[in-house]
Structure 1
Amino acid sequence: MNSSQTEWAEAEFSRGWRLILASAFGVGFGSIGFVTYSIGAFVDPLGREFGWTRTEVQGAIAFGVGLGGFLAPIVGYMIDRHGGRKIALWGLVGVAVGYLMASASQGSLGYFYLAYAAVALLGAGSGPVSWTRAVAGHFHGRRGLALALTLSGTGMAAIFVPPYAVFVVENCGWRVGYMALALLPMVALALAVFFFFPDRSSPGGAAPVHARTLTGFTLREAVSSYRFWLLLASILAMYIGITGIVPNLIPALTDKGFTPTVAASIQSGYGISLIIARLGIGWLLDRFWGPGVAAVTLTSPVVACLILMGEPSYATALLASVLVGASAGAELDLLAYFTARYFGMRNYGRIYGLLYMGVALGAGLGPISFAYLSQISGSYTASFQVALALFAFGGMSILFLGRYPRGDFGHEARPA
């Protein structure tokens, strides 16, 4: 990168740092950010009060995450046409409403699922499609790093939410626990409105899409490309494995003799490594061939599965959590980066939204599938064996994406 390109990249950050901060909080406490990380604290308390099995409680994620993913293409279309600021901010309010509904559960599993469906439906606009569209459209020279910083919001949620939820549930009960969760998207909303998310007319804001000169694939062209389906298959495999392990990690570790508090501290290691890996991946993507970087990172949870199939100590269980976190830290960043790099920014919202359905489908299937496998087999060993195979496939298949397309998709003219 020559001096003029370096200056251009630095100018991007000087204009857009507030957008990154707003988007990081939105990603972390939006409709997808902490649904998976929080439910582990509620599995056994809800089971004791209502007699629900772990599989039944984990089934809520299929509504809270899976349903939201199927709305992602619609959200993406709206963002491409109208911009994402209001859509994202109102979505945060919808997430809070859904968790307040969950706190009012009275033993009806259908109502409990409806509350998580409300998180997905009312909060759909607060998903990663909104935040990554704004950031990817603003940054070019340091796009990988900018997306990494934005998506590190999920790492922030993974570090903070499990011990936060466990503490509130153990001391105040699960109903107050859900009320405490409802506060988090409102905190993100307040920060975004008053401090970080500038109006589109400000220097750090994102201009409406029609005001930019964007290039790239049409939606039809993208779906006709083998790369689209390869990315979708890899994402689906990885997210079934990642989200199968993460919400089941606290129950799996308590089955092995760890206390809920210690198990939550182990799961927090996932969030720390997620942030570190995400930032590292962002730095590497700006300098090296992305699929090569992805293959190394996404296969690391194979080792984690081998550890969790045994009788891990605190240190080895923490290592397993860290390895899964490193992979999760890479996956969303890679999806956003590869969507922009291989397909361009012209229809980013719609293409990313369709690909994100793989994330949502995997996130919806993983927790309930792993909980069910443990229920019928008597342990989580079979679940970790399935996860090992999924990580191996998802990580290595990404190598077949091939070279980046020629040209500079999705950007306004900039210094050469």
Structure 2
Amino acid sequence: MSAVTRPSERTRAPRLHYAWVVAAVALLVLVGSAGFRSTPGLMMDALHVEFGWSHATVAGAVSVNLTLFGLTAPFAAALMDRFGVRLVVVCALLTISVGAGLTVMMTESWQLILCWGVMVGLGSGSMAGAFATTVTGRWFAARQGLVTGVLTAAGAAGNLVFMPLLAWMVQTQGWRTAVVVVSISATVVAVPVLLLMRERPSDLGLLPYGATEAPEVPKVEGSAILRSLRVLRRSLTDRAFWLLGSSFAICGATTAGLVGTHFIPAAHDHGMPVTTAASLLALVGVFDVVGTVASGWFTDRFDSRVLLVSYYGLRGVSLFLLPQLFAGSLQPPILAFIIFYGLDWVATVPPTIALCRREFGADAPVVFGWVLACHQIGAAVVAGLAGLARDSFGDYDLTWYAAGGLCAVAVVLCLALGPGISRPTPPPTPADAHHEATPRAAVTAD
């Protein structure tokens, strides 16, 4: 009788849920996307020397890239619902590959804007926060916050992995070698997406990780672009969208727009060498990974509103103190700011996504895409205003204080969201009836 196989042994579930395979592929994609997007800044001097293009011209291509990165996200989320994650991501990676590869033959500045601004911007924007939101929402019922944090941290990890390598290539092998490597890498990353990415757990006969029953799969038909616009139209009538979008615009303003763009020249104004300031900014990325993963873990366990209030409040205090921390050399106070600010850099993303899920249910990926667009617009506006302030007043002090004040506004906005409560779901319009999601009142936070 000892040779008889027990029924439990025959039906034992695999130790590794396939959701983790999908998450690993998504992590690879997001790491690569972040590294590909950052390359033009490394080529700025080389392009200036070879073509005589001004730094403003090259920066213009970067601005187009950043704008499209934000505005593409909500449409990409709808396209993923309509045509599938795998197809959209593969097309996005190939768009990056072609855009980067064509720059090898460019001779005019408009070609840089077209290739790196438009094509790479559209490709990388298709794999922005909406991609992570879609993957975690479909494949994970438990650990959503943690997985979202890890995937969000992939952006910082991509810069850490690619930027030193690409910078070395630009200096030693020339900028064309660097862009060829980017083009080939984007194509290579598409291979595991084709082989391993699956749309939903039900495709493999599985439940989402941590789920006890199969979720309803909404039917999605019609135009993905029109769906994105319909979701935006409905969201604009919702107070929660305005609160989330406004607070996330402040997030972008006080990170990528201000610190990411102006920290190095501000430190140099106080006598710090540019190389030292650049190293400090790179160190932000190291602690960004730790902080964002930790924030995802917290999001699974604590009220997302409380987390956002804490993050924005502490960020505001640090920005108020920053003008007094600058020095001509590396000192413990500025190093402490870098460590703290790195931990807080994009820690806001997991709880913001969780609140989008709480408020908007299955439309959350598209809604978060529009919220991310607010983030990028906030970053773009403040990046320009901070430069004007520096030209007008001779230093950046006022911008740091103003940014601290903006963080206080973000705290008020997050408090105004209120706790999660059941709210009636508006009746679907005929155009949306075929893809309406589960009622928002039935959706809870992570």
Number of aligned residue pairs: give it. 393
CA apart distance, 1:318: 4.1
Larger Rg: 2
Deviation (angstroms), 1:235: 1.0
Q: Matches of residues 111-260 of structure 1 in structure 2 within 5 Å?
A: 111-115=111-115, 116-194=117-195, 197-198=197-198, 200=200, 201-202=203-204, 212-213=215-216, 219=231, 221-244=234-257, 245-250=259-264, 252-253=266-267, 256-260=271-275
Where 2:419 maps in the other structure, the secondary structure is coil
Aligned letter for 2:150? L
Q: Is the 2:61–2:112 contact (alpha carbons within 8 Å) kept by the matching residues of 1?
A: yes
Identity %: 20
Native 8 Å contact 1:58 1:371 kept in 2:
no
> CA contact under 8 A between 1:93 and 1:123: conserved in structure 2?
no
Equivalence for 1:329: 346
Q: 1:385 to 1:162 in 2, by over 3 A?
A: farther
Paired residues of 2:74 and 2:366 also in contact (CA < 8 A): yes
Partners in 2 of 1:145 and 1:411 — Cα distance? 24
Alpha carbons of structure 1 residues 55 and 271: separation in structure 2 relative to 1, 3 Å:
same
Alpha carbons of 1:312 and 1:306: their partners in 2 closer, same or farther (altered >3 Å)? farther
Are the equivalent residues in 2 in contact too, given 1:243–1:366 (CA < 8 A)? no
Aligned to 2:376: 360
Q: Once structures 1 and 2 are overlaid, which stretch shifts more, 239-248 or 229-238? A: 239-248
Deviation at 1:250, TM superposition (A): 4.6
Q: Secondary structure at the match of 1:300?
A: helix
Q: Write the distance in 1 (CA, Å) between the matches of 2:279 and 2:63.
A: 25
Q: Residue 418 of structure 2 corresponds to which residue in structure 1?
A: 402
What are the superposed Cα offsets for residues 302-337 of structure 1, whole Å, 9 maximum, x if unpaired? Answer: 315643673264354444333343333213323322
1:287 to 301, 310, 319: 301
Moved more, 403-412 or 118-127: 403-412
Which shows bigger deviation, 403-412 or 38-47? 403-412
Higher relative contact order (CA 8 A, sep 6+): 1
Structure 2 CA distance for partners of 1:95 and 1:308, relative to 1, 3 Å = farther
Cα deviation for residue 254 of structure 1 reads 5.6
Deviation at 1:281, TM superposition (A): 1.0
Shift of 1:129: 1.3
Contact 1:234 1:397 in 2 (8 A): yes
- Change over 3 Å in CA distance of 1:53–1:383 after alignment to 2: farther
For structure 1, the 5+ residue unaligned runs are: 1-9
- Aligned partner (choices 340, 347, 358) of residue 341 of structure 1: 358
1:227-266 deviation digits (Å, cap 9, x = unpaired): 1001111111211221122244455556644253x44432
- Aligned-residue Cα RMSD (Å) equals 3.6
Provide the rounded CA distance (Å) in 2 between the counterparts of 1:93 and 1:150. Answer: 21
Q: Would you say 1:71 and 2:72 are equivalent positions?
A: yes
- Match of residue 25 from structure 2: 22
Q: Distance in 1 between matches of 2:378 and 2:63?
A: 9
Which string of whole-angstrom CA distances, capped at 9 and with x for unpartnered residues, describes residues 60-106 of structure 1? 33211212322333222222233322101221121232233445443
Q: Structure 1 402/228 Cα, relative in aligned 2: closer, same or farther at 3 Å? A: same
TM-score, normalised by the number of residues in structure 2: 0.75
CA contact (8 A) 2:97 2:184 kept: yes
Return the alpha-carbon distance in structure 1 between the equivalents of residues 50 and 265 of structure 2: 17
Counterparts in 2 of 1:307 and 1:330: CA distance versus 1, 3 Å: same
| 3-state secondary structure, aligned to 1:163 | helix
Checking the alignment, whether the CA contact within 8 Å between 1:96 and 1:186 is kept in structure 2 is yes
Distance, in Å, in 2 between the alignment partners of 1:38 and 1:391 is 30
TM-score, normalisation: structure 1: 0.80
For residues 38 and 411 of structure 2, the distance between their equivalents in structure 1, rounded to whole angstroms, comes to 23
1:7-49 residue CA offsets vs partner (Å, 9 max, x unmatched): xxx999733111111112222323xx34665454344444455
Amino acid across the alignment from 2:197: F
Letter in 1 for 2:301: R
